Amino acid sequence: MNEQSFTFPLLHNAIGIMTPFLLAATGGLFTELAGMLNIALEGLMLIGAFFSVVFAGLTGSLVLGILLGVASAVLAAALFAGVSLNLKANVFVAGLATNLLASGLTVVLAFQLFGNKGVVRFDIPKLPSLTIPALARIPILGDLLIGHNILVYFSWLIVVLAALAIYRTPFGLRIRGTGLGARTVNSLGLRPRRYQLAGILISGFTCGLAGAMLTLKLSAFVPNITSGRGWIALVAIYLGNKTPWGIVIASFIFGFAESLSNFAQGAINIPADFILAFPYLITVLAMIVYSIWRHYRTRL
């Protein structure tokens, strides 16, 4: 196997694999900026994954599947928001509850509907792949950027929209303000809770899409298919220093690590588990280095 033929699919796959991280992290960025630790990303993603493939299977339409799957994730996010904002439950614990609910509910429903707690396959069309001629013409990167499925391109659009919303609109300013000081926002006559609600619903939307991508790519539901991706997305927000572009880079690193572990089996002699542990170790190191840097900077 020569160098070229190995590197290209590695990078090309990484771009596909990074998409669920990227989507979930971009949505999670809104809650993070609004000052809430959103650990429900994992559960919201799982809800989106389950309902999108089930609805796609029932209706025979990918579009309806994605729409209803995303709607389910937004609904679950609304429940999370209602409990944490209106009933004033601890956000962290409500997030745990959402994850637990998602893992229980999806298995219970799969068992009820299909009599099966394992892998459920659906007879649905594949996600269409796109080749955008304008991207193909970009030198060097061109070939890497084409031939992905439609949700990958949609995720890029979402990142751009998110960056615009966060930095160029009053809404984004207020969301960031809520995170910095809810009372200040309140004193300006605004309701910080509304912006927190908006943040949670946005994270429900993007996590729903992230989940849909996981199951629709396989045309099947696998119990606990998200397997920690929501957590990695949360980590990507931190590693990306809470900016959309940082999140793109962090998600790519995680996508690349997973792509590498897929290829490495047999090719390189590193156990897959070590490669899976790698993103977490990198992030914790980055966090420590960052806090050391901050520590000594404030001292001087």
Partner 1 sequence: MKRQRQIGELFAGGVGLAITLGISFIIAVILIILLSKQPLTTIYYFFFGPFTNKYYFGNMLNTAIPLVFTGLGIAVAFKSSMFNLGGEGQVYSGALMATVILLALPEISGYLGGPIALAAALTTGAVLAGVSGFFKMKWGTDELISSFLISAAVIFIVNYFITGPLDDPGNSMLATYPIGGQYHLLGIFPPSKLDISAVFAIIVAALVFFLMYYTHWGYEMRMCGLNREFSRYGGINVSAYVILPMIISGALHGLAGGVAIMGTYHMAVKEFSYGMGWNGIAVALIAKNNPLGVLPAAVFFAYLDAGATAAMLHSDVTFEIAAIVQSVIFYLITAQAIYSLLRRRKRTRP
Per CB under 8 A, residues contacting partner 1 are: 37, 79, 83, 86-90, 93-94, 96-98, 100-101, 103-105, 107-108, 111-112, 117, 228, 231, 235, 238, 271, 273-274, 276-278, 280-281, 283-284, 287-288, 291-292, 294-295
Alpha-carbon distance values, 148 to 129, 135, 193 (Å): 5, 12, 38
Residues 6+ positions from 261 with CB-CB distance below 8 Å: 272, 275, 276
Alpha-carbon distance values, 58 to 45, 68, 76, 121 (Å): 20, 11, 21, 12
Identify which of residues 106 and 155 has a Cβ nearer to partner 1 in the complex: 106
Identify which of residues 74 and 135 has a Cβ nearer to partner 1 in the complex: 74
Minimum CB–partner distance for residue 65 and partner 1 (Å): 23
Minimum CB–partner distance for residue 234 and partner 1 (Å): 9
Identify which of residues 43 and 255 has a Cβ nearer to partner 1 in the complex: 43
CA angle 195, 251, 248 (to 5 degrees): 65
Identify which of residues 32 and 174 has a Cβ nearer to partner 1 in the complex: 32
Identify which of residues 56 and 110 has a Cβ nearer to partner 1 in the complex: 110
Identify which of residues 126 and 191 has a Cβ nearer to partner 1 in the complex: 191
H-only helix segments in the chain: 3-33, 41-59, 62-81, 91-114, 133-136, 142-145, 150-168, 170-180, 182-187, 192-218, 229-239, 244-267, 272-299
Minimum CB–partner distance for residue 108 and partner 1 (Å): 5
Which residue type occupies 118?
A: G
Contact 176, 186 (CB under 8 A): no
Exposure pattern of 182-191 as b/e (b: 16+ CB <10 Å)? beebeeeebe
Minimum CB–partner distance for residue 95 and partner 1 (Å): 9
Minimum CB–partner distance for residue 89 and partner 1 (Å): 4
Minimum CB–partner distance for residue 103 and partner 1 (Å): 6
